Amino acid sequence: MTADPPVRGHRVRIGFGFGGSTRQTGTYDVGPGGHGLLGSVVADLERLGYDSLWVSERATGQTLDPMVAMAYAAGCTERLKLGPAVLVLPGRNPVLCAKAMASLDRLSGGRLLPAFGLGIADAAEQQAFGVARADRAGWFDEALPLIRRLWTEDVVDHHGPRFHLDGVSVLPKPLQQPLEVWLGGSAASELRRCGRLGDGWLPSFIDPAGVASGIATITEVADDHGRHIEPGHFGALVPFVHRTIPERFAQRLRSRRPQVDLTEVVATGVGGLRVRLDELVSAGASKFVIFPLDEPDDWHATIEDVATEVLHLQS
């Protein structure tokens, strides 16, 4: 497309979301050429100049563990940033989580983009993490500030409702100081949490009006708590389909947000991504994760097509 990009005040960055494959045979195996599916995706993203790779977490799904996948991707690349979309925090030991992420930031040369969430409303996933749905927010609100302390303080003492630490250290520290944390969600409670605890916002299945109002709420809450979130740290996960929205996603969206028009939150075709990104940039967002909801017949071709259509927005 030749249309001029919209006027914006912050540098646009575009990452690619990889949720894995629903194909059951050999999709992650490393073959004679040294690459399975993830390796091929990572190689394309690095070569084409994408900003980042984002990998999904589903403990009970056909996906790779995000920490392992990011570590693999870090070893295959030199420039590509790495983020989980998103790492479920309730159920994770905050010391071990802080240690793993600090180690990955070190080994990747400071390319980690931490992103945390509560986890999806799914019985199998909640069983995997072992935290009751009603207790997730309390766990999150205690664990995230504790992880930040473990990343920055030499010795940490903490006595809270769930965690008790005396003289605990996490070494080595992350290379990035500070290691900034992204949060998702668009419900009122999630927006308030981002204002209180987050350094950036990356919601999913959201329209431009929701982005604009979410930024306003988060900024107001951050101000109320004496915090500042950089204006360039607002973004969105931007899903698209090659053909039609898979029914499992459509059902989930209808049950959670029945008032939402699916066509307003899911772009149709690679060509529809440019229009959607222009709208989201005008609403105040500048960090994006492009995410195919229906698995491409050819991952390489899809990544190439998306790059041709929208990567020039990064310049």
Residues forming beta bridges with residue 236, ordered by sequence position: 288
R_g of the chain, CA atoms, integer Å: 19
Helix (H, G, I), strand (E, B) or coil at 219: helix
Task: Please write the tens of the pLDDT for every residue from 33-90.
Answer: 556 899 999 999 999 999 999 999 999 988 899 999 999 999 999 999 999 999 999 9
Extended beta strands in 89-217, E state: 115-117, 156-159, 164-168, 182-183, 200-201
Q: Containing H/E element for 87?
A: strand 87-88
Residues forming beta bridges with residue 165, ordered by sequence position: 158
Task: Please write the tens of the pLDDT for every residue from 223-260.
Answer: 999 999 999 999 999 999 988 887 877 787 777 777 77
Q: Containing H/E element for 17?
A: strand 13-18
Superfamily for domain range 13-86+184-314: Luciferase-like domain (3.20.20.30)
CA pair distance 172, 218, nearest whole angstrom: 32
* pLDDT tier at 4, thresholds 50, 70, 90: very low
Amino acid at site 20 = G
Q: What is the residue extent of each domain of the chain?
A: 13-86+184-314, 88-99+117-178
CA proximity to 117, closest of 152, 96, 151, 92: 92
> Taking phi first (over 0 means left), then psi (-120 to 50 degrees means alpha), and beta for anything else, what does residue 110 get?
left
CA pair distance 133, 13, nearest whole angstrom: 34
